[in-house]
Structure 1
Amino acid sequence: MDFRGGQGDVGDPGEESLSELLRSWRRRLDPRTFPGLPVRGRRGRGLTHSDVARLAGVSARWYGSLEQGREAGYSADFLDRVSAVLRLSRAERQALYLRAVGRPPALAAVPAVDAAAEMDATLQHFIDNQAPDPAVVTDLAWNMVGHNKAAELWLPGAVQMGNQMRWTFLSSEAREQLVCWERDWARPYLGQIRYERANHPKDEALRRLEHDILEGSPDARRIWDRREMVDHGDGALRRLKVRYHRGREVAVRTVALRPARSDMLRVTVLMEDGHEAIGR
């Protein structure tokens, strides 16, 4: 695999080589903002090739091989140090990984954030506008950090418990209200938990969620042994039988999405699907 690439057309990001990107990223930085970095006698703007190597704690030769686009066994630690030195955005860091090692950075390497702090008035306004359909905002471990009024009316037990997955597996009412509980809800939900655990193996909240569900639900332990993985539930058709609808069975289509500004939040809307026949 050759990561050097051609020069390409000016302004075409798909054709920019790794060398071009790294040179541009280091030249936009002011060396005076790096404590301890000598600045006297400099002729040009930005960081030099040697500056980046020094700040990243590697030899100039090793960093040079990266900037020259040479294929080598670059570690995630090395690439993350270069990303930090060059003050790359999340999108730029991903571009660095793709060109240097041919894959995006692991999700587990993304710095942890306070998901509750990411829940702001704009996002709350968005989910409020999903009414009359219930909508919730959850963090990586499915703790509810936001919900609309319809969610309180449809699923008060889940909102009160404050965690979508814990309610599904550890509440007796969930078995009654989530129609076809094992096939349509438990299996895909456990598949999502396994998927997030694989991508965030060091996340303590996810680890506790898995432990508590498997300890508290024999059915969950049995299903867990299937080792299924599901990345999301977007588009799934499921059925509910909740008190808000006086026990009438209601079909819902799941809409799942993530705000572009955060990998730690997910928005889930249960859109009532009036076209689906009920009572099959």
Structure 2
Amino acid sequence: MNSRGEQVEGNDPDGEPLPDLLRFWRRRIDPLKVPGLVAAGRRGEGLTQNDVARLAGVSVRWYGALERDIKADYSVDFLDRVSSALRLNPAERRALYLKSVGRPPALTASPEAGTAVPVDGTLLQRFLDLQAPAPAFATDLVWNVIAHNQRLRDWFPWAADRGANLMRWTFLTPEAREQLVAWEQDWARPFLGRIRYERAHHPKDKGLLELERDILAGSSAAREMWDRRDVVEHSHGALRRLRLPHHQGRETAVRIVALRPMRSDLLRVVVLLEEQEGTDGDI
């Protein structure tokens, strides 16, 4: 607003106005490249409101109300049809939802854990290598180790094995109980809580279901802890202790840094930062 209370272009307190965004999105589309649209005799560039309504299969009145930012109970189907007609990318679709109905779109269904994680393997490996001297690794949704740096392999040689899985190693191998200090309290229970968390978010994922079954079938301790129904989202910031052959059995404290790339929630990146003696406890 200016001193007279008039709206000033580009100074909307809520950011870019929805009408401006919608007009920009439809005007950037070349009607000559849209099958079925008649381009002859057009006076302006881009799509008209009539074009968008036709492509979305909705009335011109209903789309026009959206473009005038008239508040209404716009359905998910309607907004998705408009998104498709305007060829919006995921970020633009989210903006459309937030501006029109005040909430983001529902998350799209994630692919199953058996499918490939959309990641640039070369870039990921370079990132992990650059974390040295800290051990660093990446896992997919079901905690299969898909990449790691040399330091991680020095600490945990099993991670270099084909099919290495963090959760199966933790629960189904005897050495894990020796190497993960306070195995039950600090490692096993939080890990089971994370499996439960991911199962809740990906209930149809066959890989997660198989992982849960394997661990509960192979570990009586896991079965007992499972009944506590812990739910844990992540381990970022946690202080944990290790007793590894690489350190000749000396206890080593590490701070866990856990990340997820913006391109996919199916990938986890973990860096273990060695802590100096005398630091504070868990956070």
Q: TM-score normalized by structure 1? A: 0.82
Worse overlay, 179-188 or 204-213: 204-213
CA root-mean-square deviation: 3.0
Question: For structure 1, which segment, 24-33 or 187-196, has the greater mean C-alpha deviation from structure 2 after superposition?
Answer: 187-196
- Alignment partner of 1:243 is 2:245: yes
Counterpart CA distance in 2 for 1:167 and 1:238 is: 17
Q: Sort the Cα spacing of 1:54 and 1:270 in 2 relative to 1 into closer, same or farther, 3 A.
A: same
Q: Which runs of no fewer than 5 residues in structure 2 stay unpaired? A: 1-5
Q: 2:117, 2:266 within 8 Å by CA — same for their partners in 1?
A: no
Q: Which amino acid aligns with 1:28?
A: R
Alignment partner, residue 3 of structure 1: none
Gap runs ≥5 in structure 1: 1-5
Report the CA distance shift for 1:157/1:120 in structure 2 as closer, same or farther (over 3 A).
Answer: closer
Q: CA deviation at 1:26?
A: 1.7
Quick one: structure 1 residues 271 and 262, their matched pair in 2 at CA, closer, same or farther if it must change by over 3 Å?
Answer: same
Alpha-carbon deviation of 1:149? 1.0
Structure 1 residue 143 and structure 2 residue 149: aligned?
no
Q: What is the distance in 1 between the residues matched to 2:7 and 2:193?
A: 44
Judge which range, 191-200 or 28-37, deviates more: 191-200
Farther-moved stretch of structure 1 (119-128 vs 8-17)? 8-17
227-236 vs 142-151, greater mean Cα deviation: 227-236
SS at match of 1:15: coil
Q: How has the CA–CA distance of structure 1 residues 45 and 121 changed in structure 2, closer, same or farther, with 3 Å as cutoff?
A: same
Residue 187 of structure 1: CA displacement? 2.5
> Larger radius of gyration, structure 1 or 2?
2
**Does structure 1 conserve the Cα–Cα contact (< 8 Å) formed by 2:112 and 2:206?**
no
Residue in structure 1 matched with residue 196 of structure 2 by the alignment: 194
Deviation at 1:111, TM superposition (A): 7.0
Which residue number corresponds to residue 3 of structure 2?
none
SS at match of 2:168: helix
The alignment partner of 1:137 has SS state of strand
Structure 2 equivalent of residue 274 of structure 1: 276
Residue pairs, 1:97-116, within 5 angstroms: 97-109=97-109, 115-116=116-117
**Contact 1:257 / 1:268 at 8 angstroms: preserved in 2?**
yes
Question: What SS does structure 2 have at the residue aligned with 1:146?
Answer: strand
How far, CA to CA, are the matches of 1:219 and 1:71 in structure 2?
55
How far apart are the structure 1 equivalents of 2:8 and 2:267? 37
Kindly, what percent of the aligned residue pairs are identical?
60
Amino acid at match of 2:215: I
SS of residue matched to 1:213:
helix
Could you tell me which amino acid in structure 2 is paired with residue 133 of structure 1?
A
Number of matched residues? 273
The separation in 2 between residues aligned to 1:110 and 1:97, in whole angstroms, is 20
Of 125-134 and 11-20, more deviation after overlay is shown by: 11-20
Change in Cα spacing, 1:173 to 1:96, as seen in structure 2 (3 Å) is farther
Mapped to 2, the partners of 1:112 and 1:163 lie a distance apart of: 17
- Report the TM-score when normalising by structure 2: 0.81
- Distance of aligned partners of 1:169 and 1:25 in 2 relative to their CA distance in 1, 3 Å threshold: farther
Structure with bigger helix share is: 1
Deviation at 1:67, TM superposition (A): 3.0
CA distance in structure 2 between the partners assigned to 1:203 and 1:60 by the alignment: 41
Q: Which shifted more, 267-276 or 155-164?
A: 155-164
Q: 1:1-280 residue pairs with structure 2 within 5 A? A: 9-10=9-10, 14-109=14-109, 115-160=116-161, 161-276=163-278
Separation of aligned partners in 1, 2:225 and 2:74: 39
Letter in 1 for 2:256: T
Residue 98 and residue 131 in structure 1: after superposition, are their counterparts in 2 closer, same or farther (change >3 A)?
A: same
* AA partner of residue 26 (structure 1): R
